[in-house]
Amino acid sequence: MRRYLVFALCIMAIETKAQVKYVSTINWGINIGFDNYYNDWSGEQDLYESDPFMGVKLDYIGSAQLNNKIAVGLGVGFRHLLTADYVIFGDYLESSSNNNRRNRFQAPVFTHLKIRFIDKKVSPFLALSAGYSFSLQQRDELESSLYRQSGVMGNANAGVNIRLKKGKSIAGGPLVEVTSYRATNSYKEVLSKSNYQIWQIGFQASFAF
């Protein structure tokens, strides 16, 4: 019985290996969103929210197509967020939403899972990513290091996937993404610890080849 079990596992492994193919995917999208953070000044927590922002994203993902429905892989990306926020001037906070647009840049590295639910030309799909997003911000003396931190990120994308000829496919649907990190700052010798989150929702399209 044990021999038959080992033999069956070997056959399954060979079939799985024969089915695996490697796929490159380009994702691009446009998002709207907001950021907020809990600021802990000497043990007292306050919630701060910024003005809404718009963002664009671009990803490259290299995946192993395990079968006709499941693919796993690794990806790298780029995020550009155009947002209005608050800048510290001396002893007071002045809103910069009217005269100062801050550009934020992020470069995430992540693992990726994509599932097609139907083995047909047109199928609904779900894609999940999780990883770490690196800040590309340059230092600004007027701005807290809060906006130059790196942290964990994750997103979910669902929609419709359409197979094309020669192994290519296109897909599109809504996307939700969040980036979270913890920052430590000091202002006038007062230590501040902040839990910071960037939430985005938008539309993402992809092309696999």
Q: What is the DSSP letter of 148?
A: G
CB 6 within 8 A of CB 177: no
Q: What is the DSSP letter of 120?
A: S
Rounded mean pLDDT, 33-42 = 66
Rounded mean pLDDT, 184-188 = 55
**CATH 2.40.160: does it fit domain 20-208?**
yes
Compute φ and ψ for 53, nearest 5 degrees. Answer: -140, 165
List pLDDT tens digits, range 72-114: 999 999 998 886 554 443 333 444 443 345 677 899 999 999 9
Task: Label residue 2 by pLDDT band (50, 70, 90).
Answer: low
Compute φ and ψ for 206, nearest 5 degrees. Answer: -145, 155
pLDDT score recorded for residue 195:
73
Query: From residue 72, how far is each of 59, 127, 169 by CA, in Å?
Result: 15, 10, 16
List pLDDT tens digits, range 119-167: 999 999 999 999 999 988 765 544 455 555 688 999 999 999 999 998 8
Residues forming beta bridges with residue 183, ordered by sequence position: 194
Where is pLDDT greater, at 166 or 175?
A: 175
Q: Is residue 21 scored above 50 in pLDDT?
A: yes
Task: Label residue 184 by pLDDT band (50, 70, 90).
Answer: low
List pLDDT tens digits, range 189-205: 555 566 778 889 999 99
